[in-house]
Each structure stands twice: as structure tokens, then as C-alpha cells.
Amino acid sequence: MFCDEALDTIEAIAADELMPDGRVAAHLASCPNCAAALVSARALEQMLKRRVVPATPQQFTSRTMARVRRARWRNDQFLDVGFNVAVGLVVLTVVAGVWMLLNRSGLAVVSNDAVDLLGTGLVTFFRRVTPSLPLYAGAAAVLATALGIWWWAERDAAL
């Protein structure tokens, strides 16, 4: 038997997971190098078994939960921003679509005329109303004074 063959089984023998058969046992008894390797493997096995189990830090759970909450919050924020951007894009697309539709169908010209008409109507309305504004303001002041006196009288009656 060659040393390589015996050395392949050394770790399993040292861990008591393999019983050396006759050939391997005979080789280990006659080869000082392989016997020394077995001693060293057994020592290593013991060292590994005695290795200290690292204790979990105190407050590990609370710190982990805090990180989870932070990550979830960031994720929510990201979703919110994403949702807002998506809504904005949808609104822009709809507006652009309507504008294109109006342009292609010729309705844009009609709508421009309608806007012009509305604008002219508003200007005419304000021109007519402007000279009477002091009169309306005076009437509003009289009404406000009357309402004030009524409120004051009511308050006194309630007392």
C-alpha cells in the first residue's frame, strides 16, 4: 500500500467516521510519516471540536429589526416616487395624445376659435362692469355693515 492511499483516509479515521481496514492499519503501524499524520489529524479534530461558538451580540434582534424597518421605509419611498412619476407620465401622455388628436382632426382650430371667443366675451364683460365698480363696492359695504350690526345685536341678545 502507498502512503497516498492511506493519507486519503486519515481525516475520516481521525473523525471516527471510518475504521481502518487491515491494509490501512498495517500501513499506519509501519509508516512513521502516515502515523504522524494521523496523530496530527486527531489533534486537529479535537481543536476543531473545542472551537468556541461565537455568542450572538446583545440586541442583535432589535438592530436587525431596525435595519429591516429602514429598508422597508426606503422601499416604500422608492415605490411612492415611482408611483408619482408614473402618474405624471400618464397625465403627460394623455395631454399629448389629446393635443395630437385635436391637431390631426382639425378640432384644434375650432378650439382656438372657441378660446378666442371666450376671451373676447370676458374682456367685454369686464369693460362693461368696470364703471359700476364703486357702486357695487358701496352696496357690498352697506350689506356688510348691516350684517355686522345684526350679528352684534344677536350676540348681545344671547348674553
Distance between CA atoms of 102 and 128, rounded to whole angstroms? 34
Name the one range near other proteins by CB under 8 A: 52-60, 80-88, 102-110, 125-133. 52-60
6 binds other proteins (CB under 8 A): no
Among 47, 135, 158, 159, binds other proteins (CB under 8 A): 47
122 binds other proteins (CB under 8 A): no
Contact of 3 with 33, CB cutoff 8 Å: yes
Nearer to other proteins, 43 or 98 (CB): 43
Contact of 9 with 24, CB cutoff 8 Å: yes
52 binds other proteins (CB under 8 A): yes
51 binds other proteins (CB under 8 A): yes
Among 1, 25, 29, 65, binds other proteins (CB under 8 A): 65
Q: What is the DSSP string of 29-90?
A: HH-HHHHHHHHHHHHHHHHHHTPPPPPPPTTHHHHHHHHHHHHHHHHHHHHHHHHHHHHHHH
Distance between CA atoms of 127 and 120, rounded to whole angstroms? 11
Contact of 13 with 20, CB cutoff 8 Å: yes
Among 30, 64, 93, 145, binds other proteins (CB under 8 A): 64
Least separation in angstroms between CB 64 and other proteins? 5
37 binds other proteins (CB under 8 A): yes
CA 36 to chain centre: 59
Task: Kindly list the residues in this chain that would bind other proteins in the complex (CB under 8 A).
Answer: 7, 10-12, 14-15, 17, 37, 40-41, 44-45, 47-49, 51-57, 60-61, 63-65, 67-68, 71-72
